[in-house]
Structure 1
Amino acid sequence: MTDLAASLSAFMSRVAGPGELSGLERLSGGANMESWAFDWAEEAYVLRRAPSADYMAGRPYGHAVEAALVKAAHAGGAKAPEVVGVLAEGDGMGTGYVMRRIIAEVSPAKILAAPPPSLVADLGRELARIHALPREVIPEGIPAMDTVEALAELKARFLSYGGDRPAIALAVKWCEDHLPAPAEPVLVHGDYRMGNVMVDAGGLAAVLDWELAHLGDAHEDLAFGCMTVWRFGQLDRPAFGVGSLEAYFAAYEAAGGRPVDRERFRFWLVYRTLWWALGCLQMGQAWRSGTDTTVERVVVGRRTAEQELDLVRLLESEAPEAERARPLPPSPVAPEVPVGEPTNREMVQAVRDWLGEAIKPGAEGHGKFQVVVAMNALGIVMRDLDAGARAEDKRLAEALMRGQTTLAEPGLLARLRRAVLDKCAVDSPKYAALAAARADWGG
């Protein structure tokens, strides 16, 4: 941190004038992209950076283009942060940029516990404002998305990861069969959801994390924040965990957004759930390849189970009524209570308990976050050793992608439901949709 402080002080002297650096602290989360809060000349700022070029590998554009887009959005009236300077190679801090810090709440749990009354309308209006930004202010380097090509790329990634997860294969085939006609492109934020918005007592205060922005279908943005995973347990509030889709769509349209097509919205809800399922698998591949060896990568890699559960819930309506009413097959038999020498599960539990009792209480900031992630990883291992639940079935996945097997096959939906329930119970037992699915399916 000492080297970063010295480099950051030199940078801020150049872009903001004389001052003194204080309060430098890494914000929790963000294993790939770092965020550092600090004060300079009694003003609050945030440094967003990647420590080296390796962290930016595979991204469609770098931080200079991202910063230019954030500047354009801010100048165009969107609630984007104010960029004050972009890092150069000679600054010795990797790539990134510095923004003025916005003081507002970003925690989804805290926001959703008592959202401001205007928030769902704010979210709709702000998205309409982003989509209305004229093409001439969008910087060179922001890519255009071709949905057909993007879906083909998702399918290729799935196959490269083994192509053996039936719920994902089902979604790939459904998306191929339900591709919408091309839409007139707008600026799509690409990550517009709880966790990337800041809220204060007056409503929406800021929109963060523009790194996935592109030109594409407005419905992609409309749907993304309505995914189950980004509603953070508020399953009865389909728009961002805040309110109704009707209120969200009405605010979007009233602010100049194009009329919302419900079928196109549904396509993007399935597509982005599929996208995030593969994004989670990609996290595991990043760890396996050595690109990113943080514990957070492998833990997020196991969150694929959440999206598989959500994909089955989204697509089960495609099955005949008799199949939707079919009882679930039983789960595997639980293992016997161990005797004799400590089992692998018990040894993992001992290490997890030690982290919680001896290490976590003394940890702070990002270090404490990492301890919690490590404890979560060991918890997954313990449950996996108990249950032995697996999600892989390559033969079934291939049959689903070829269309040789569909949800009309007797017993298939019940098998898929059981598989995703058991896997999610291992990998994400507190996931709110798991309890909802058990209640709906009798599992």
Structure 2
Amino acid sequence: MTEPGSDTADLADGLRRVMARAGFRGELGTPHRLSGGANMQSWRFSCGDEDFVLRRAPSQEWIEARPVALAQEAAVIRRAVAGGVMAPEVIEELTPSDGIGIGFVMRAIPGTADPKAVLAGDPQAMIGDLATALARIHALDPEGLDFLPVLDPASGVESLAEQFESYGGDRPVIALGLAWLRANVPPPAAPRLVHGDLRIGNVMAHDGRLSGVLDWELAHTGDPHEDLAYGCMTVWRFGKLDAPAFGFTDLETYFAAYEAAGGAPVDRARFRFWLVYRTVWWALGCLGMGTYWRGGTDRSLERVVVARRAAEQELDLLLLLESDAPEEERQRRLAPAPQPEGERQGEPSAGEILTAISEWLAAAVKPKLEGRDRFDLAVAQNALGIVRRELAGRPDPHDRVLVEDLLSGRATLATPGLLARLRRTVLDTLASDQPKYPALPRAREEWEGN
């Protein structure tokens, strides 16, 4: 089914109505869809001499399953801006009569959200800006924002367990993470406003400094340590493995900057709990993308490709939790990695045909594309690679029996050979699903000794 405003001309007509209602009468430029955003759409356009961004839901079905409505998200952003947080100014919400879906228009802010460019900024200045943004968010008065969900750590863990079961409940490393979370749940904290998705990729930087915090769709009330930990996940550091604080610096420098900006003293145990929690959360989030796709909520190719990123988080979970294993298990040698087949003769294999398609796309199609279309082509090439590598041999990462043993406590990281077995499976699964994940080469070096 075609969504409202899916045609660029229709979108421009609707935006003219929105901007006129907001008091802007200038000529409207052609909207261009921005490349990022697996969940929400972002369209940049000009009106007169100013630039704006439309943020809208990909479908009505998607918005119905969302815990925070878009109008409520806009209210949170307005509260944040009023509290001194660097965030975009919300200009106007869409209405049904606009005919272009559900969302709101923001004034564009300078800079870029491209992770490579953001991480090229001044590390000391950027970590100070990010710490200040977090401290100000956590100091915001949540009065009047009663619509926001509340995340209690104990109930949150059980919600993750239910989600895990609904996705098959058969990935042992995720079960290991759930078992650890259940054993390490901290007492509830005084609830504060939590952004819920503050990481590299969801912030703008300009001239080496933070210029805005984006994407407030996961805002809720809960423990500020969740926000502190989330941006430090390996996946959101884009290869900056030696700078655990957002890819800019060490954790102690980050914590000191947060406290100096007015944030409460950082509890290291709480921080670790939420780091493990959000790693499990994103592993499940990846698996859930397949459910969204199968159910027809979002049939985009990006969904199914992201669904194959769960192994990234399984690797990170093992790296976070392996210190709990006995030394003997940490030093146990891994089984040899499967060896690739020799060079094929004669007719091309299915994998070689997929490679040929990918090469043709790169040579003949990519030069003709730009913007979102070029991004979608990269997703398609990634998908072809996933299929090609699976045909060459992908281990089965599913084991319901082992999951039950882990969740019941019958198996732990002290079980002889278990850690080595999990390491081998995760390395080989990730090499098939996402071989360019930056943490993979280092994990191979540490675990295989190569």
TM-score, normalising length from structure 2? 0.96
Aligned partner of 1:222 in structure 2 is 228
Tell me, in whole angstroms, the C-alpha distance in 2 between the residues paired with 1:269 and 1:246.
15
Letter in 1 for 2:220: H
SS at match of 2:343: coil
SS at match of 1:416: helix
Contact 1:65–1:140 under 8 Å retained in 2: no
Contact 1:46–1:101 under 8 Å retained in 2: yes
| Residue identity (%) | 56
Aligned partner of 2:81 in structure 1 is 74
Tell me, in whole angstroms, the C-alpha distance in 1 between the residues paired with 2:206 and 2:10.
34
Correspondent of 2:125 among 113, 118, 124: 118
Contact 1:51–1:93 under 8 Å retained in 2: no
Q: By how many angstroms is 1:264 displaced?
A: 0.6
Structure 2 residue 46 is matched with structure 1 residue 39: yes
| Residues 349-388 of structure 1, C-alpha deviations (whole Å, 9 max, x = no match) | 1221221111111111111111110000101111121122
Tell me, in whole angstroms, the C-alpha distance in 2 between the residues paired with 1:43 and 1:114.
26
Cα 1:117–1:252, aligned 2, differ >3 Å: closer, same or farther? closer
Tell me, in whole angstroms, the C-alpha distance in 1 between the residues paired with 2:38 and 2:332.
43
Q: By how many angstroms is 1:115 displaced?
A: 3.2
Contact 1:87–1:97 under 8 Å retained in 2: yes
Aligned partner of 2:29 in structure 1 is 22
Tell me, in whole angstroms, the C-alpha distance in 2 between the residues paired with 1:421 and 1:291.
31
Q: Give matches, 1:29-428, under 5 Å.
A: 29-136=36-143, 138-201=144-207, 203-428=209-434
TM-score, normalising length from structure 1? 0.97
Contact 2:121–2:208 under 8 Å retained in 1: no
Contact 2:33–2:43 under 8 Å retained in 1: yes
Tell me, in whole angstroms, the C-alpha distance in 1 between the residues paired with 2:213 and 2:272.
24
| Residues 366-416 of structure 1, C-alpha deviations (whole Å, 9 max, x = no match) | 111111100001011111211222211111111111111011111110111
- Alpha-carbon RMSD across the aligned residues, in angstroms, is 1.3
Letter in 2 for 1:376: N
Letter in 2 for 1:102: I
Structure 2 residue 15 is matched with structure 1 residue 8: yes
Tell me, in whole angstroms, the C-alpha distance in 2 between the residues paired with 1:81 and 1:314.
35
Contact 2:123–2:249 under 8 Å retained in 1: no
Contact 1:105–1:200 under 8 Å retained in 2: yes
Letter in 1 for 2:53: V
Contact 1:31–1:294 under 8 Å retained in 2: no
| Residues 273-300 of structure 1, C-alpha deviations (whole Å, 9 max, x = no match) | 0000000000111112222111100110
Q: By how many angstroms is 1:202 displaced?
A: 5.5
Tell me, in whole angstroms, the C-alpha distance in 1 between the residues paired with 2:368 and 2:254.
43
Q: By how many angstroms is 1:232 displaced?
A: 0.6
| Residues 198-256 of structure 1, C-alpha deviations (whole Å, 9 max, x = no match) | 11226211100000000000100000000000111001001000111111111111122
| Residues 122-156 of structure 1, C-alpha deviations (whole Å, 9 max, x = no match) | 111110110000122x5231121122222111111
Structure 2 residue 447 is matched with structure 1 residue 441: yes
Letter in 2 for 1:48: R
Tell me, in whole angstroms, the C-alpha distance in 2 between the residues paired with 1:321 and 1:31.
40
Higher mean C-alpha displacement, 40-49 vs 326-335: 326-335
Q: Which runs of 5+ in 2 are unaligned?
A: 1-7
Q: By how many angstroms is 1:51 displaced?
A: 4.6
Q: Which runs of 5+ in 1 are unaligned?
A: none
Cα 1:253–1:292, aligned 2, differ >3 Å: closer, same or farther? same
Contact 1:231–1:240 under 8 Å retained in 2: yes
Aligned partner of 2:4 in structure 1 is none
Higher mean C-alpha displacement, 382-391 vs 315-324: 382-391
Letter in 1 for 2:69: G
| Residues 38-80 of structure 1, C-alpha deviations (whole Å, 9 max, x = no match) | 1112111100011532121311121110001101111111111
Letter in 2 for 1:356: A
Aligned residues between the structures: 442
Higher mean C-alpha displacement, 112-121 vs 289-298: 112-121
Letter in 2 for 1:268: W
Contact 2:394–2:428 under 8 Å retained in 1: no
| Residues 290-347 of structure 1, C-alpha deviations (whole Å, 9 max, x = no match) | 2211110011000001000000111101100010011111122322333343222122
Q: By how many angstroms is 1:418 displaced?
A: 0.7
Q: By how many angstroms is 1:29 displaced?
A: 2.4
Tell me, in whole angstroms, the C-alpha distance in 2 between the residues paired with 1:171 and 1:26.
37
Cα 1:51–1:273, aligned 2, differ >3 Å: closer, same or farther? closer
SS at match of 1:205: strand
Question: Deviating runs (4+, > 4 A) in structure 1?
Answer: none
Tell me, in whole angstroms, the C-alpha distance in 1 between the residues paired with 2:251 and 2:186.
20
Contact 1:190–1:214 under 8 Å retained in 2: yes
Letter in 2 for 1:80: A
Higher mean C-alpha displacement, 155-164 vs 177-186: 155-164
Letter in 1 for 2:124: P
SS at match of 2:29: strand
Letter in 2 for 1:389: P
Letter in 2 for 1:270: V
Q: By how many angstroms is 1:116 displaced?
A: 4.9
Contact 1:283–1:297 under 8 Å retained in 2: yes
